């Protein structure tokens, strides 16, 4: 190290207890009593209706984009942001509403579309996008919550397999 | 209803999706928080942390203008921020390990994956209040010590290392 070069000084400041002190050093088991935490969880459960309405709107957007892509494959690259954004949107909402399999599917759609080579979108790429959209639609129509059990695992395995084939 | 001791904690929640932002607000309010500020974008959050201090920030990652990571970088590194050590919870749908690592290396305190439950949120908030970690300031990193340990047990729990026979 050159003489005039400052040495990298790492400082480690002690844990800051000011937040704990600020609220009067309470018994945290009382502050966050089980009934309080449960009441807060109820807020999440009750929000599910709104979240699902918004999810359906997002689903319509990706269904429309998918139909456009099928009609004119040249448009697919320009439509990728719709799949990515709405996929993320659906993932966030369905995940909060206990539609975990839909959330997984939407995440898979988002990741797949982010990884696509925009200069060379193949028929297989478009098929996989279509598969995702149809699966999300089917799962929501049939109101399949949670991870979908063995059927859900099979669907996800198939989606992942198709994804890895397409990526080569 | 008795006023919660959390009422004086100044919380900033950041999300560009109004429904999620409102949901986080409502969950925090039900837990007993009363001083909650909502920011609808990363840019708005940066303006806020440049003007007023907060005790806790809960931020989304993916936002339209500036990301949650941009916000964390600003808070930890920009002198314009008046609360550079504020605890930050990253609330995100990004589950892959590389996202978690990036967030930790940027200086977040806790990572919470959507879908979240109130119990998971409480666990992280309790960790921040009861077991704050040392804060590292170096040329390459500013943020809570990334290695977790029992070095700082909750205030109401005895330090297990004390009195331990060698």
Mean pLDDT of chain B: 88
Report pLDDT for B152: 54
* Closest chain A residue to B22, measured at CA: A47
Report pLDDT for A134: 93
Q: What is the ipTM of this complex?
A: 0.85
Contact A47 B23 (CB under 8 A): yes
Please give the share of chain B, as a percent, with pLDDT higher than 90: 70
Q: Is B89 helix (H, G, I), strand (E, B) or coil?
A: strand
Using CB atoms, pick whichever of A16, A36, A41 lies closest to residue B132: A16
Query: Six-digit token pair at A17?
Result: 């207890």
Q: Which residues of B touch A8 (CB under 8 A)?
A: 138-140
Q: Which residues of B touch A38 (CB under 8 A)?
A: 118
Report pLDDT for A98: 73
Element (H, E) at A12: strand A11-13
Span A137-148, mean pLDDT?
Answer: 87
The string of pLDDT tens digits covering residues B126-165 is: 999 999 999 999 999 999 998 765 555 555 555 544 444 4
Using CB atoms, pick whichever of B87, B122, B129 lies closest to residue A37: B122
Residue-level length of chain A: 168
Contacts of A119 (CB under 8 A, 6+ apart): A77
Using CB atoms, pick whichever of A25, A40, A97 lies closest to residue B30: A40
Separation between Cα atoms, residue B151 and residue B154, nearest integer Å: 10
Query: Could you tell me where the beta strands, DSSP code E, fall in chain B?
Result: 10-14, 35-39, 56-60, 88-92, 110-113, 135-137, 142-144
Contact A51 B19 (CB under 8 A): yes
Indicate the pLDDT class of residue A104, thresholds 50, 70 and 90.
confident
Indicate whether B81 pLDDT > 90. yes
**Which residue(s) pair with B60 in the sheet?**
B91
* Closest chain B residue to A16, measured at CA: B132
Closest CA to A114 of A139, A87, A138: A87
Query: Six-digit token pair at A78?
Result: 């320009």
* Closest chain A residue to B19, measured at CA: A51
Distances (CA, A) of A101 to A58, A115, A145, A163, A168: 16, 21, 7, 17, 25
DSSP-derived secondary structure letter, B14: E
Which candidate in A31, A57, A91 is best for mutational testing of the B interface (most B CBs within 10 A)? A31
Indicate whether B71 pLDDT > 60. yes
Q: Which residues of B touch A107 (CB under 8 A)?
A: 93, 95
The string of pLDDT tens digits covering residues A44-103 is: 988 888 888 889 999 999 999 999 999 999 999 999 999 999 998 898 788 777 787 898
* Closest chain A residue to B153, measured at CA: A15
Report pLDDT for B36: 97
- Structural contact between residues B128 and A3, judged by C-beta atoms closer than 8 angstroms: no
Report pLDDT for A51: 86
pTM over 0.80: no
Contact B132 A41 (CB under 8 A): no
Report pLDDT for B160: 46
């Amino acid at each position: 190290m050159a003489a005039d070069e400052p040495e990298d000084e790492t400082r480690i400041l002690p844990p800051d207890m000011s937040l704990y002190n600020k609220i009067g050093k309470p018994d945290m088991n009382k502050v966050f009593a089980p009934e309080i935490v449960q009441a807060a969880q109820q807020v999440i459960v009750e929000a599910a209706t709104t979240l699902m309405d918004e999810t359906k709107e997002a689903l319509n957007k990706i269904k429309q984009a998918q139909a456009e892509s099928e009609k004119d494959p040249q448009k697919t690259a320009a439509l990728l942001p719709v799949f990515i954004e709405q996929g993320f949107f659906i993932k966030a909402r369905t995940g909060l509403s206990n539609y975990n399999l839909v959330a997984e599917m939407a995440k898979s759609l988002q990741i797949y579309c982010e990884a696509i080579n925009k200069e060379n979108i193949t028929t297989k790429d478009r098929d996989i996008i279509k598969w995702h959209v149809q699966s999300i639609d089917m799962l929501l129509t049939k109101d399949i919550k949670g991870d979908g059990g063995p059927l859900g695992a099979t669907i996800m395995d198939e989606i992942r397999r198709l994804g890895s084939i397409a990526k080569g | 209803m008795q006023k919660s001791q959390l009422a004086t904690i100044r919380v900033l929640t950041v999300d560009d999706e109004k429904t999620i932002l409102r949901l986080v607000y409502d969950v925090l309010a039900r837990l007993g928080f009363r001083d909650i500020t909502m920011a609808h974008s990363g840019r708005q959050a940066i303006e806020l942390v440049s003007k007023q201090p907060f005790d806790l920030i809960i931020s989304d990652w993916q936002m339209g203008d500036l990301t949650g990571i941009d916000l964390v970088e600003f808070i930890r590194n920009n002198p314009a921020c008046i609360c550079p050590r504020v605890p930050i919870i990253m609330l995100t749908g990004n589950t892959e390990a590389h996202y978690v690592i990036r967030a930790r290396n940027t200086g977040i305190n806790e990572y919470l994956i959507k879908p979240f439950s109130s119990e998971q949120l409480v666990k992280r908030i309790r960790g921040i209040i009861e077991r704050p970690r040392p804060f590292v300031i170096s040329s390459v990193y500013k943020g809570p010590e990334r290695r977790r340990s029992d070095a700082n047990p909750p205030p109401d729990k005895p330090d297990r290392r004390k009195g331990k026979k060698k």
